[in-house]
Amino acid sequence: MSQELTTSRVAALEGRTSSCEQAASSFRHEMLFYEDGDHGFLDGTLDLVESAIAAQAAVYVAVTPARAAALREALGDHAERVHFADMPRLGRNPARIIPMWQAFVSEHANGNGRALGIGEAAWAGRSAAELVECERHEALLNVAFAGAPAWHMLCPYDLDALEDHVIVAAKHMHPLLSWDGESHDNEDYACAHEPPRPFAGTLPPPCGPLEELEFTSADLAQVRHLVSDWARAQALPGEAVDELVLAVDELATNSVRYGGGAGTLRCWREGNILQCEVQDAGWITTPLVGRTRPASDAHSGRGMWLANQLCDLVQIRSTPAGSVVRVHKLIVPQ
């Protein structure tokens, strides 16, 4: 991270007064800037966690294993009062993170004190595509928990490990900023002026040899066979092949039902990631599609939910002219 950008950001924050006390019934979505590894992370989180524990509030910490270990050690015996989760495992696909927090809020946000969640969605080593979806995830948190019971969501961002553009983009998605132990209103919070547009923009074009198939309802079996044969040829393990086939089949079925009755499937490989995308003429307008578990009697939403549970990343781009849903499946070295 450039020293110039860091210095200017600090100066901007220090020049603000803290007028961010929110009503007890609101969702408090705050971004934490930190530097100096575990030391900076603890400076920004330890007091907050200890205060929540003292207030008998539930605390859920979903961060990288290294940060979790540092916080456990600093808390000592009090660490037993905190639920820890491995964010790189549970939240590799950012679309799975909101359901995790929804379950936490449903169970704990009506208890004593203000429930506290600490979630580090972006970390060093995430792919460029994952970081783009993390940005969209942060914006959708404000939608998912609007009107929810009171709770506090703190999102740590490592200034030393993440690129400037990741920090700047995330800053636009948080109503509150935390720096040097104080909270500040965020004057650059974009969602205060316009609603999130999680499906806006375009995806990078495929890179590498393509398998392509135009399909209608009569071709869904062919879709499944193409994905299965292609994924096995790429040395994807058997269970992962089945997961990818099911995810793509659900997306293709959605195209037939809701996307004009037809679509186009494309499959390719980039490094150790297999990517499949389905294009159709439909327009997806539900911001949280695939991020909230559909009810047992729901008539729609199940396909996108399954795709998010089965794949390492799901990207959606949609306009009135049509939609594309791209899924990623990682080939884990044996």
If asked whether residues 263 and 154 sit together in one domain, one would say no
Q: How does pLDDT run across 78-94, given as a tens digit for each residue?
A: 999 999 999 999 999 99
Q: Is residue 281 part of a domain?
A: yes
If asked whether residues 236 and 180 sit together in one domain, one would say no
Confidence of residue 4 (pLDDT cuts 50, 70, 90): very low
Q: How does pLDDT run across 141-169, given as a tens digit for each residue?
A: 999 998 888 999 999 999 999 999 999 99
pLDDT of residue 294: 83
Distance CA 270, CA 120 (A): 26
Distance CA 152, CA 114 (A): 7
Q: Indicate the range of 243-247, 283-287, 301-305 predicted with least confidence.
A: 301-305
- Using the 3D structure, point to which of 192, 220, 254 is the last residue of a domain: 192
Which CATH number do you get for residue 225? 3.30.565.10
Question: b or e along 228-239 (b: 16 or more beta carbons within 10 Å of the residue's beta carbon)?
Answer: bebbeebebeee
If asked whether residues 180 and 306 sit together in one domain, one would say no
If asked whether residues 165 and 244 sit together in one domain, one would say no
Q: How does pLDDT run across 238-283, given as a tens digit for each residue?
A: 999 999 999 999 999 999 999 999 999 999 999 999 999 999 999 9
pLDDT of residue 192: 65
Number of domains in the chain: 2
The domain in which residue 219 lies consists of: 211-330
If asked whether residues 24 and 102 sit together in one domain, one would say yes
Confidence of residue 21 (pLDDT cuts 50, 70, 90): very low
Q: Is residue 206 part of a domain?
A: no
If asked whether residues 62 and 155 sit together in one domain, one would say yes
170 exposure class (CB count in 10 Å sphere: 0-12, 13-18, 19+): buried
If asked whether residues 41 and 153 sit together in one domain, one would say yes
pLDDT of residue 333: 60
pTM of the model: 0.89
Extended beta strands in the chain, E state? 27-34, 59-63, 83-86, 115-119, 151-158, 176-179, 182-185, 211-216, 262-270, 273-280, 313-319, 322-330
Confidence of residue 112 (pLDDT cuts 50, 70, 90): low
Q: Is residue 144 part of a domain?
A: yes
**Is the Cα dihedral 293, 297, 298, 300 positive or negative?**
positive
If asked whether residues 146 and 216 sit together in one domain, one would say no
Q: How does pLDDT run across 114-141, given as a tens digit for each residue?
A: 899 999 999 999 999 999 999 999 999 9
Q: What is the DSSP letter of 160?
A: T
pLDDT of residue 296: 73
Q: How does pLDDT run across 215-239, given as a tens digit for each residue?
A: 999 999 999 999 999 999 999 999 9
Q: Is residue 56 part of a domain?
A: yes
Q: What is the DSSP letter of 204?
A: P
Distance CA 191, CA 177 (A): 14
If asked whether residues 171 and 251 sit together in one domain, one would say no
Confidence of residue 300 (pLDDT cuts 50, 70, 90): confident
Query: Is residue 23 pLDDT above 70, yes or no?
Result: no
If asked whether residues 112 and 255 sit together in one domain, one would say no
If asked whether residues 186 and 103 sit together in one domain, one would say yes
CA of 325: how far to CAs of 209, 246, 247, 249, 316, in Å? 19, 14, 11, 12, 5
Q: Is residue 118 part of a domain?
A: yes
pLDDT of residue 193: 67
pLDDT of residue 111: 59
If asked whether residues 35 and 175 sit together in one domain, one would say yes
Distance CA 113, CA 121 (A): 25
pLDDT of residue 12: 33
- Using the 3D structure, point to which of 192, 224, 252 is the last residue of a domain: 192
pLDDT of residue 100: 96
Which CATH number do you get for residue 27? 3.40.50.300
- Using the 3D structure, point to which of 138, 157, 192 is the last residue of a domain: 192
Q: Is residue 203 part of a domain?
A: no
CA of 163: how far to CAs of 13, 122, 123, 236, in Å? 19, 11, 10, 31
